[in-house]
Amino acid sequence: MHNWLFDATWTIAGHPILWREIVGNGFGLASAIGGMRRRVWAWPVGIVGNVLLFTVFLGGVFHTPQNRDLYGQAGRQVFFIVVSVWGWMRWRDARAAGRARGDQDAPPVVPHWAGRRGWMIIGTVAVVGTVVFAQIFRALDSYGPWADAWIFTGSFLATYGMARGWIEFWLIWIAVDAVGVPLLFSAGYYPSALLYTVYAAVVLWGFVVWWRQRDRPSDGGEGRPEQPLVLAE
């Protein structure tokens, strides 16, 4: 029964698709929607999807129908889990602090712009991370090492930005999707590629929702990157 559940496939247009790829991406989509609504449950739901997708993207190791290893895609699932646990605790504590003050509907995070300091972090990590991991993935013979490196780095940045409440994290996801869809289609990971396309619509809507709910600073546009979550520290 365990082997059947792990290896079960669904054949679509002559292509065998793993059910765990479909289910894992379903959890990922649910997590994105929960994040848009600023629900703490978005984090543990996303972690379940990360565990499933880790086994999917190591196709050569786990002998998936694609039989291709995307080390960036697999590795980012590990980083997702680590950062998601941190984000989960951060949002949970912030919400609890709000309720302790008597606000039972207190959101776990107040959306705000990252500001100059935040963009320095984003820009530096994006460039350095992509270059470094592209060399690592190339050495590991990963499929599409440069695209995989950006997806890996951008996904880490987006998850970190979500935990911090940065509105820009939605824009980073758009940039990840723009590279991820062509890569996944070419590698044969069709459910993931299709879900990335759906993500794009969810991400655009999420950006609009967070932008409308943003904290409007009075400090000349720098934003208040720490204040909304200071009680979660």
Q: What is the pLDDT of residues 167-177, one digit of tens each?
A: 999 999 999 99
Higher pLDDT, 121 or 96: 121
pLDDT in tens, 64-87: 655 566 676 777 788 889 989 999
Asked if 204 and 174 count as a contact pair (C-beta separation under 8 A), the reply is yes
Predicted confidence at residue 61, as pLDDT, reads 57
Residue-averaged pLDDT of the chain: 81
The fraction of the chain above a pLDDT of 70, given in percent, is 79
Predicted confidence at residue 113, as pLDDT, reads 95
**Arithmetic mean of pLDDT, 141-159:** 88
Higher pLDDT, 70 or 197: 197
pLDDT in tens, 19-33: 888 888 889 889 989
Predicted confidence at residue 200, as pLDDT, reads 85
**Arithmetic mean of pLDDT, 202-209:** 92
Predicted confidence at residue 66, as pLDDT, reads 57
Residue 217: pLDDT band (50, 70, 90) is: very low
Instruction: Tell which residue, 202, 219, 208, has the closest CA to residue 33.
Output: 202
Predicted confidence at residue 226, as pLDDT, reads 38
The fraction of the chain above a pLDDT of 90, given in percent, is 39
Higher pLDDT, 92 or 19: 92
Lowest mean pLDDT among 13-17, 78-82, 87-91, 93-97: 13-17
pLDDT above 50 for 166: yes
